[in-house]
Structures are given as C-alpha cells and as structure tokens.
Amino acid sequence: MSSDLLVVGGGITGLALAVHAARAGLQTTLVDAGPLGGQRSTQQSGALIRTHYADASSAALALEGLEHFETFEERYGASAGFTRTGFAYVPEPHEDLGARIAMLQAVGVETELRTPGELRSIDAAVRVEDAEAVAWEPRSGYASPALTCAALAGAAVAAGAVMHERRPVERLLPGGGARLRDGAVLEAGRTVLCAGAASAELAATVGLDLPLQPTAVKLAVFERHVETHLAVIDAPNGTYLRPDGVGGTLVGRRTWTDEPLARTDSPLPAVDDGFVADARERLVRRLPGAAGARVLSTRAGMLDMTPDGLPLVGPTNIDGLWCCCGWSGTGFKTGPSVGAALAGWLNAGEPPAELRAFDPHRAQLGGIAVRSPH
C-alpha cells in the first residue's frame, strides 16, 4: 500500500512530523533503522530548551518549540518531563547583546538584559561577574528525551501513523518511497529525510548531495551541590549547563567540528578523564560551589553539522524528496514545532515563514553563518 508520506528516521524530528502529518490527514508511514527515539543523537541530547538564538528564524521556531514543551501533555497525551529552570546566556565580549535582545523581543521571546548583580538575585549559585550583562529568559528549561519520544511515538500511532522500527532504509526511490535493507519497498507520494547525518548517504542514492558532517560531542553529569540552578549557555567558556534529574548538573562543551566522524555508524569516542577534568574546571567558573563535585555519568552523541550551522528543511530538487535534517546540535527544542510547521507545509503547500530560511538549496550554504548550539 502506498502512503502519502514516508518519514525516514524516528528521532524527535521524524516522530513529531509523523504526529502532525497524520493528524493533518496524511497517510503517514515512519521507518527507522533502529529503535524509535534517535539512539545516537536525540537520546544523548542535552535537551536544553531555550529561545536565545542569533537569527530570528531559529528563535521563532524555538519559541514555538518552548510553547509545545510547556503544554506537552495536553498536545501529545503524556509528559515530556519539561522542567522550567530559567536560563541565562553569557555572551562573548564582542557580542552586541542589546541588539540581539531587541531582535528576540520582536520575535516574541521573553528575554531581558540582566547585570551580574541582578542575576545573582535570581540565582545566587551562578556567577557571571566577568560579563557586563547576560540575556535572561524566565521560561526556559530542559526536557527528557526518553519521555518526549515515547509521548510522540504514542501520539503518532494514535493519529494513525504506521511505524516500522529496526528496518534500515537501503536506498530512496526516485519519485518517492524507499527500499529497505530487508528487501521490502515502502511506496509514498513524498518522502522526508529526518535521518540526521545519515540523511546524506540516503540522499546520495537518488543523486542528491547534502552537506552534512557527522560529528561527535561529549558531555558529563556532575553531582549537584544546590537544589537547582539556572540553565546557562556560557559562550566565553565554551560550555552549556543545566540541572539534570534529581541530583546532577549536566555540562556539555559547545564544540561542533572538533571531532568529525568518518561515517555515521563510526563508534562514538570514549569520554576520557581529560574531558571530565576540563568540563569540571569550566563548570566551576560559573558554579563555584561545584568544585570537587563527583562525576555521575558521561556520554557522547552525534551531530549532523551543516556548513552554516542551520538546518536543511523543505523540498529538494529531487521529485518527491524533502529534507528535515542538519540540525547542527540544536534540534531537540525545535523538534515538535518543526514537525507541526512542516506537516502544515506538506499538507497546505505554503512554506511557513519560520522555515523559509532553511531551504536545502540556499545559496549561502557554503559559509559559516550562525552557530548557536545547544
């Protein structure tokens, strides 16, 4: 049987698209090479949900994403484990934070400048005295990748989507659909690549070159010394941090290109003592109380980097083939809102304003324009 839509990849992006496409009345099939949930990326995610971005399109998507997470149970029938912590962005000295905040406020983001002293009255544990000011967001926080994906998968099935797990796509078919490694053919009017970095090798089977570089990133979780604290992106220190579960503080490095992987199935690097020691040192610059904190866990994950750090979303020049990949280390928070916006586009034919900047064939894709994980 042929579907209207084949979604390749069941990480947060593909699952959210399947929910919204099926709800919009498209006969939707989703296929994943592994278990649903995106084992190498979505499940390893820092899952920080904030709206501070350097470009208005990403900020608009992130704001919609935040709204989805704030009302997740109502929309998707189960919790995403969204925890509101508040968020601070510590800029590099050359950044014009005033102009950035004005841009974000024009998009509708709730954010304001705070001096280091003002931030201390919001969260006494966090030190930002080396910055003139930081961007403060009261609504931001983090969610649980496992709960989020379980809820989305349930909502997709409830809406009528057909889900195939552990069935890798071998190649795409010209005009829509795919052949699986087990020999089955899934026919579809349109196919959307939500396979993260693996989207490039699948696109190549129909002659499309997608500029995606699989890259490894690492994080560590340390014992938390306070009940909770703000989530922080710390640009000068090259880190992001947030509370993690009951007693942890998660710290990730803001690296995007340092550890390229040869293939999307290359083993992820071990998180060694050097990384942990460095992450602890950087953490202590913001949370001095964390000095000497025990490391609770570590993990590595894979990013799907594009040359300009922005995603590839929309129809391609191959008939029936669309992309929704290249999230470049920042696609968790926007997964639900992208799914909704893209399903609307597939259904109604009109590109939503917030996705227009991400044309997979955009001319400026050669250079690094914006990098703002996570």
Of the two residues 133 and 172, which places its CB atom closer to ligand FAD in the complex?
A: 172
Instruction: Output the smallest distance, CB 217 to ligand FAD, in A.
Output: 5
Of the two residues 82 and 327, which places its CB atom closer to ligand FAD in the complex?
A: 327
Of the two residues 120 and 254, which places its CB atom closer to ligand FAD in the complex?
A: 254
Go through 298-333 and write b for each residue having 16 or more CB atoms within 10 A of its CB, e for each that does not: bbbbbbbbbbbbbbbbbbbebebbbbbbbbbbbbbb
Distance separating alpha carbons of residues 156 and 77, to the nearest angstrom: 11
Instruction: Output the smallest distance, CB 170 to ligand FAD, in A.
Output: 7
Instruction: Output the smallest distance, CB 266 to ligand FAD, in A.
Output: 13
φ/ψ (deg, to 5) at 144: -100, 120
Distance separating alpha carbons of residues 36 and 318, to the nearest angstrom: 27
Instruction: Output the smallest distance, CB 119 to ligand FAD, in A.
Output: 20
Q: Which residues lie below 8 Å from residue 323, measured CB to CB, with a gap of 6+?
A: 192, 193, 199, 203, 210, 312, 313, 314, 316, 360
Of the two residues 221 and 290, which places its CB atom closer to ligand FAD in the complex?
A: 221
Distance separating alpha carbons of residues 193 and 172, to the nearest angstrom: 10
Radius of gyration of the chain (CA): 20
Is the CB of residue 64 less than 8 Å from the CB of residue 109?
Answer: no
Distance separating alpha carbons of residues 210 and 54, to the nearest angstrom: 24
Instruction: Output the smallest distance, CB 325 to ligand FAD, in A.
Output: 6
Instruction: Output the smallest distance, CB 61 to ligand FAD, in A.
Output: 10
Instruction: Output the smallest distance, CB 136 to ligand FAD, in A.
Output: 18
Of the two residues 133 and 271, which places its CB atom closer to ligand FAD in the complex?
A: 271
Instruction: Output the smallest distance, CB 326 to ligand FAD, in A.
Output: 8
Q: How buried is residue 86: exposed, middle or buried, by Cβ count under 10 Å (0-12/13-18/19+)? A: buried
Of the two residues 76 and 327, which places its CB atom closer to ligand FAD in the complex?
A: 327
Maximum Cα interatomic distance, the chain, rounded to a whole number of Å? 63
Distance separating alpha carbons of residues 283 and 248, to the nearest angstrom: 12
Of the two residues 156 and 202, which places its CB atom closer to ligand FAD in the complex?
A: 202
User: Which secondary structure element, helix H or strand E, spans residue 29, and what is its range?
Assistant: strand 28-31
Of the two residues 124 and 204, which places its CB atom closer to ligand FAD in the complex?
A: 204
Distance separating alpha carbons of residues 108 and 189, to the nearest angstrom: 36
Residues making contact with ligand FAD (CB under 6 A): 8-14, 31-34, 38, 40-42, 44-48, 168-169, 194-196, 198, 202, 217, 219, 252, 301-303, 325, 327, 329-333, 374
The structure tokens 């699952």 sit at: 15
